[in-house]
């Protein structure tokens, strides 16, 4: 009888061969939705139309510039593009961020674009503006 009881206890203590149930995936409603900030940049037709209206403010360096387009969802100039000029045609490529300094002078307040200039162009402009200020202070014309 003791042998029989030991046998029963051994069988009950033996690990089960049935696999553990696989975890169930989360329901679709539990997956977080993409935030508006993570939305893809606007279409190229939008930047083409806006740039065609404001291209006179672009500062070109080797027929290339960068611009940032105002995005009303993010409330920032968050849609960035590199613009290549070839004759009278423009070619646009979306970029993750601007790599050149933003132009901070001579642009209308309501402009939907931020324009950039190269570092060399910025240094030359600052030098020219400084010389003009010193001429005014000295009374030269």
3-state secondary structure of 66: strand
Spatial contact of 42 and 79, defined as CB atoms under 8 Å apart: yes
In a domain, 5, yes or no: no
Q: What is the mean pLDDT of residues 102-115?
A: 86
Whole-model pTM above 0.75? Answer: no
Alpha-carbon distance of 100 to 74, in angstroms, equals 21
In a domain, 53, yes or no: yes
In a domain, 126, yes or no: yes
User: Containing H/E element for 120?
Assistant: helix 119-138
pLDDT at 25: 66
3-state secondary structure of 136: helix
Confidence label for 98 from pLDDT (cuts 50, 70 and 90): very high
Domain housing 102: 39-138
CB atoms inside a 10 Å sphere around CB 82: 17
Task: Specify the number of domains making up the chain.
Answer: 1
In a domain, 33, yes or no: no
Query: Is the confidence at residue 95, as pLDDT, over 60?
Result: yes
In a domain, 58, yes or no: yes
Beta strands in 25-132 (DSSP E): 64-71, 76-86, 89-95, 113-115
In a domain, 23, yes or no: no
In a domain, 111, yes or no: yes
């Amino acid at each position: 009888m003791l042998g029989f009881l030991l046998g029963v206890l051994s069988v009950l203590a033996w690990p089960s061969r049935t696999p553990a149930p696989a975890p169930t995936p989360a329901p679709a409603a539990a997956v977080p939705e993409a935030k508006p900030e993570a939305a893809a940049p606007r279409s190229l037709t939008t930047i083409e139309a806006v740039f065609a209206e404001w291209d006179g403010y672009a500062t070109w360096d080797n027929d290339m510039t960068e611009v940032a387009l105002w995005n009303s969802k993010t409330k920032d100039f968050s849609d960035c593009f590199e613009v290549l000029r070839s004759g009278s045609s423009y070619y646009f490529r979306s970029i993750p961020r601007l790599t050149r300094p933003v132009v901070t002078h001579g642009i209308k307040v309501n402009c939907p674009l931020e324009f950039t200039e190269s570092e060399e162009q910025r240094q030359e402009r600052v030098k020219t503006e400084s010389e003009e200020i010193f001429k005014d202070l000295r009374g030269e014309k």
